[in-house]
């Protein structure tokens, strides 16, 4: 399945608050669709599918990419669900978003794709790049790049920068100090249900 490009508010109404997908809030409290106002008990499969969709849509990864991340997480040491979340959080596009350089993950992806982001003094336009502790993230020297980022810093998407990151607003430099901890992950979901979803396929 390709990346979602439809109305984002519709997704947030259905799946709940996804901070990486959109900053907009809907005034409507019921889910979208003709039958959105009817309450019914979801099946176990529907619950697992919903958690998987939250993860996929929030981080903007395709189904193929998510399956790849699941396989890598299973091979790594530690709980599969936590490792999966950490891998997604350490992606370059998400790191740009969490530093406050972009209002959403799609906006951060655009900054990276257009070559505005520099990692360790080298321009990098690969959104899926896995940031590592010690990496220095900066902005390309140019009026357009700095103006774009400064506008986002003045009006950040999330209120606080997680403890594994630090940012110098004057120099527009970010530093990755470590791997993110579970309590700092902004999205609310049960990662175990995502692992269960793929283990049953």
The answer to whether position 127 is within a domain reads yes
User: How many distinct structural domains can be found in the chain?
Assistant: 2
Whether the per-residue pLDDT at 39 is higher than 70: the answer is no
The arithmetic mean of pLDDT across residues 189-200, rounded, is 88
For residue 1, the model assigns a pLDDT of 40
Tell me the per-residue pLDDT of 120-175, one tens digit each, with 9 for 90 and over: 989 989 999 999 999 999 888 888 878 878 877 776 656 678 889 998 888 888 99
The answer to whether position 119 is within a domain reads yes
The arithmetic mean of pLDDT across residues 186-190, rounded, is 84
For residue 162, the model assigns a pLDDT of 86
The arithmetic mean of pLDDT across residues 13-24, rounded, is 68
pLDDT bracket for residue 58 (50, 70, 90): confident
Work out the mean pLDDT of the chain and round it to a whole number.
83
Per DSSP, what are the bridge partners of residue 173?
Answer: 168
On whether both 102 and 155 belong to a single domain, the answer is yes
Tell me the per-residue pLDDT of 66-87, one tens digit each, with 9 for 90 and over: 999 999 999 998 899 999 999 9
Whether the per-residue pLDDT at 92 is higher than 60: the answer is yes
Contact 51, 193 (CB under 8 A): yes
The answer to whether position 3 is within a domain reads no
**What CATH number does residue 80 fall under?**
1.10.1050.10
The arithmetic mean of pLDDT across residues 93-97, rounded, is 91
Range of the domain at 47: 8-87+187-199
**What CATH number does residue 164 fall under?**
3.10.290.10
On whether both 132 and 191 belong to a single domain, the answer is no
Residue 157 vs residue 114, higher pLDDT: 114
pLDDT bracket for residue 8 (50, 70, 90): low
Lowest mean pLDDT among 20-29, 165-174, 177-186: 20-29
pLDDT bracket for residue 25 (50, 70, 90): low
Whether the per-residue pLDDT at 100 is higher than 60: the answer is yes
The answer to whether position 155 is within a domain reads yes
DSSP the chain: -----S-HHHHHHHH---TTT-----S--SPSSTTTT---PPPHHHHHHHHHHHHHHHHT--HHHHHHHHHHHHHSSS-HHHHHHHHHHTBHHHHHHHTTSSSSHHHHHHHHHTT-EEETTEE---TT-B--TT-EEEE-SSHHHHHHHHHHHHS-SSSS--TTEEEETTTTEEEE-SPPPGGG--S---HHHHHHHHHT-
């Amino acid at each position: 399945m390709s990346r979602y490009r439809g109305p984002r508010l519709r997704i947030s109404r259905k799946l709940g608050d996804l901070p990486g997908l959109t900053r907009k809030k809907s005034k409507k409290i019921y889910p979208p669709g003709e039958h959105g106002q009817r309450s019914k008990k979801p099946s176990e499969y529907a619950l697992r599918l919903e958690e998987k969709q939250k993860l996929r849509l929030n981080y903007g990864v395709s189904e193929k990419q998510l399956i790849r991340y699941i396989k890598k997480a299973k091979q790594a040491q530690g709980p599969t669900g936590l490792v999966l979340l950490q891998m997604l959080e350490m992606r370059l596009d998400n790191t740009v978003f969490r530093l406050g350089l972009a209002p959403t993950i799609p906006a951060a992806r655009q900054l990276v794709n257009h070559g505005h982001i520099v990692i360790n003094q080298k321009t990098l336009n690969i959104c899926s790049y896995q940031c590592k502790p010690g990496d220095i993230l900066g902005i390309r020297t140019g009026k357009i790049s700095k103006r774009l980022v400064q506008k986002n810093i003045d009006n950040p998407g999330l209120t606080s920068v997680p403890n594994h990151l630090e940012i110098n607003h004057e120099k527009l430099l970010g530093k990755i100090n470590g791997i993110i901890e579970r309590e700092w992950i902004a999205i609310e979901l049960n990662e175990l249900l995502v692992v269960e979803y793929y283990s049953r396929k």
